[in-house]
Amino acid sequence: MTGPRAWVVGTGLIGGSIGFALRGRGWHVSGSDVDAARSGEALAAGAIDAVGEDVAADMVFVCVPAGKVVQVTRECLSRAPGAVVTDAAGVKANIVASVTDRRFVGGHPMAGSEKEGVAGADSTLFSGRTWVLTPTEETDPEVFASLHGVITSLGARPIAMSPERHDALVALVSHVPHLLAATLMDLAGEEAAESAEVLALAAGGFRDMTRIVSGNPGYWPDVCAENSAAIVKEMEELSRRIVDVAAVVARGDREGLLTLLNRARSARSLLPTAYVAAERVAEVRVPVKDRPGALAEVTTLAASMSVNIEDVEIAHSPGGGGGMLVMVVDAGDAGRLTEELGLLGYEAEVRGL
Amino acid sequence: MTGPRAWVVGTGLIGGSIGFALRGRGWHVSGSDVDAARSGEALAAGAIDAVGEDVAADMVFVCVPAGKVVQVTRECLSRAPGAVVTDAAGVKANIVASVTDRRFVGGHPMAGSEKEGVAGADSTLFSGRTWVLTPTEETDPEVFASLHGVITSLGARPIAMSPERHDALVALVSHVPHLLAATLMDLAGEEAAESAEVLALAAGGFRDMTRIVSGNPGYWPDVCAENSAAIVKEMEELSRRIVDVAAVVARGDREGLLTLLNRARSARSLLPTAYVAAERVAEVRVPVKDRPGALAEVTTLAASMSVNIEDVEIAHSPGGGGGMLVMVVDAGDAGRLTEELGLLGYEAEVRGL
């Protein structure tokens, strides 16, 4: 085997999809799972080349339930001493705070399927999808750049942010919507138990709103436990706003209602559909020598400005040391990113490509 | 012109789609709109044969905003004295209480589009969709049967219920979900104004949940005004349940969470996808002579039992008078429907087809 080697731990929907995608790009993929039947299925499906661990792996993907990630990741860091290690859990702060290793970067591919396990796995699952990375001051920039490159090669769009920020945002756009859909479906289900015609009235909009409820519930207890503070905060806020909107309806405030609906419609029009690579790109080169935490700071700044980093690498200075962080971004974004970096004290410069 | 004639008032999305569908089935369709540009567009698009009213129409479809339906329907009943008249508003109780004419049956096709106006109109918009009819004691059974037949011919599934029941149920499965999606999108939009990466994290589930917010907001002020009591009641209930679910999350109650998610998942699995006509049907024949309100009572009973009425007609007794209500239903449903009708005092009988 001369190609790169990956070890996927947990060969379900996400692990299986990573396996398929990596194999399609020339990687040798080993896969292990606490449930031997699942790794056997993944092998039979072609998601992995071999069942078992790979201590010589270049990269390890920990795709186990959120509550098990810390322990499994520590084991993998120890068993595969040369590997970059990442995970795929939907909540990041606890995990990233508990695994402080330069070779580890927390990750969260924002992709899923209504199907469960390797049966739903697909090499294109991540295509055009956001894949969050949570670098910290501890993260080795080389490790980050290498993981960033692999994720980009899978067709995903890596985006860097702090683990805490990630958790607050997914509470809002993923966890709370899921619980909300379940609550709504449950209420309608109770009504339907009394009068069957309820469900006949549930048209396309209702189907859309409750679709995520069809997914595997087993994913959620860990996620809710790990992210309970942010989830509870957003649910309480939402509950208050629902009462406010009910008051708008109760008092027949047509203008108030239209204002809400138009604002929501316009916000939704900004949702990205799928990632499209920039046609014209430029390099932003940032000297990061002797700046601990520079990687996390620079990449999360880019994300907060909606600047997509298409590629990232570390150019070492001849004498060794921190060197240069080189980011490939849309040519139209390079100037404003450089300017913002300047405000943070970075002597960044743009180079056209 | 020897084919049947329809007059569609309001040539937007719904009126235009009805026009397309009727024309495709040999009807001559006239269309009028307070906005002459819209009826002109409908003519140019082929949704109607002619612009203007048709006082000789066999059937009139009032497809104007909910707040205008009562007035327009009364005018149509008066101007087209031989026509069956129906409307398409999303709220029924006020309208049906205000228009007490034997030739009028309230209706609500449960179909829509993200596109607005006749540009979104489509002859297949109602295919497989539920189309609610709200017969009352006043409704002429012949009028109901004739409208039922036309709606079935458009590929829709007519389902009868009282106007009050309709309004309570659409509050739950349509109006509240819409306001909920808007509230959620608005909250995420506010967050996104501060940190642009929010929207990059909004994956498929969030997109699904907020899709309906893309629709035309102009539809909602009338609907919310007409159905405010039911909407407010369900929103307050939902708000309470969200707080309850937040408490489940806050106390780390994994079992409680799984119970909710599994119950919701199982309720959703009961949502109908699209209507499939029964393979084996039977007639249920119900003598309704001297029973005022029999039509509404019998057809809404069927709906509450999830018995689909594939066809309905009135067989007159030779000496005139009330005669026989004949419903074509799935052969497997005929027995239990007959039994329930017996409990209400109807001497119904099943005849195989």
Boundary of a domain, candidates A137, A161, A185 = A161
Residues of B with Cβ-Cβ distance to A127 under 8 angstroms: none
Specify whether A173 is located in the same domain as A77: no
- pLDDT band at residue A81 using 50, 70 and 90 as cut-offs: very high
Average pLDDT over residues A56-70: 96
Q: Is B88 helix (H, G, I), strand (E, B) or coil?
A: coil
* B42 touches B148 (CB < 8 A): no
- Residues linked to residue B330 through DSSP beta bridges, in sequence order: B281
Lookup: tokens for B20: 């397309």
Among A207, A234, A304, whose Cβ lies nearest the Cβ of B195?
A304
* B299 touches B143 (CB < 8 A): no
Specify whether A189 is located in the same domain as A257: yes
Count how many domains chain A has.
3
Specify whether A155 is located in the same domain as A192: no
Residue range of the domain that includes B312? 281-352
Angle (CA) B308 B311 B317, round 5°:
125
Give this complex's ipTM: 0.76
The CA distances from residue B190 to A10, A238, B209, in Å, are 37, 13, 17
Residues of B with Cβ-Cβ distance to A214 under 8 angstroms: 265, 268-269
Lookup: tokens for B210: 């907020």
CA B89 to chain centre: 8
- Residues linked to residue B352 through DSSP beta bridges, in sequence order: B282
Interface of B with A in 2-21 (CB under 8 A): none
Distance from CA of A235 to the nearest CA of B (A): 6
**Residue type at position B118:** V
Lookup: tokens for B320: 């005139």
Say if A274 falls within a structural domain. no
Q: Please give the radius of gyration of chain A, using alpha carbons only, rounded to the nearest integer.
A: 22
Chain A contact for B207 (CB, 8 A cutoff): yes
For residue B98, count other CB atoms closer than 10 A to its CB. Answer: 12
Specify whether A333 is located in the same domain as A245: no
* B78 touches B104 (CB < 8 A): no
Q: Which residues of chain B have pLDDT under 50?
A: none
Boundary of a domain, candidates B161, B190, B209 = B161
* pLDDT at A320 > cutoff 60: no
Say if B275 falls within a structural domain. no
* Cα distance between residue B187 and residue B190, in whole Å: 5
Say if A69 falls within a structural domain. yes
Asked if B239 lies within 8 A of A246 by C-beta distance, the reply is yes
Q: Which residue, A14, A197, A26, is CA-closest to A121?
A: A14
Say if A219 falls within a structural domain. yes
Say if B273 falls within a structural domain. no
Which pLDDT score, from 0 to 100, does residue A322 have? 59
Specify whether A151 is located in the same domain as A171: no
Q: Is A92 helix (H, G, I), strand (E, B) or coil?
A: coil
Specify whether B12 is located in the same domain as B155: yes
Q: Which residue, B31, B20, B28, is CA-closest to B53?
A: B31
Interface of A with B in 35-94 (CB under 8 A): none
Say if A293 falls within a structural domain. yes
Q: Which residue, B282, B286, B278, B275, is CA-closest to B331?
A: B282
CATH number of the domain residue B264 falls in: 1.10.3660.10
Give percent above pLDDT 90 in chain A.
62
Say if B228 falls within a structural domain. yes
Residues of A with Cβ-Cβ distance to B110 under 8 angstroms: 201, 203
**Mutate: best of A124, A126, A164, A198, partner B, most B CBs <10 A:** A198
Specify whether A252 is located in the same domain as A295: no
Q: pLDDT tens digits, residue range A19-48? A: 999 999 999 999 999 999 999 999 999 999
Looking at chain A, which residue has its C-alpha nearest residue B305?
Answer: A196
CATH number of the domain residue B314 falls in: 3.30.2130.10
* pLDDT at A299 > cutoff 80: yes
Average pLDDT over residues A93-111: 95
Chain A contact for B194 (CB, 8 A cutoff): no
Which pLDDT score, from 0 to 100, does residue B306 have? 82
Specify whether A37 is located in the same domain as A85: yes
**Is pTM, for the whole model, over 0.95?**
no
Q: Which residue, A257, A232, A176, is CA-closest to B178?
A: A257
Say if A128 falls within a structural domain. yes
Specify whether A171 is located in the same domain as A152: no
Among A239, A252, A272, whose Cβ lies nearest the Cβ of B242?
A239
Residues of B with Cβ-Cβ distance to A159 under 8 angstroms: 197, 200-201
Interface of B with A in 290-319 (CB under 8 A): 303-306
Boundary of a domain, candidates A268, A302, A335 = A268
CATH number of the domain residue A144 falls in: 3.40.50.720
Q: pLDDT tens digits, residue range A134-152? A: 999 889 999 999 999 999 9
**Residue type at position B330:** D
Lookup: tokens for A310: 């298409």
Specify whether B67 is located in the same domain as B146: yes
Which pLDDT score, from 0 to 100, does residue A185 have? 95
Which pLDDT score, from 0 to 100, does residue A277 have? 55
Chain B contact for A29 (CB, 8 A cutoff): no
Specify whether A184 is located in the same domain as A148: no
Specify whether A144 is located in the same domain as A243: no
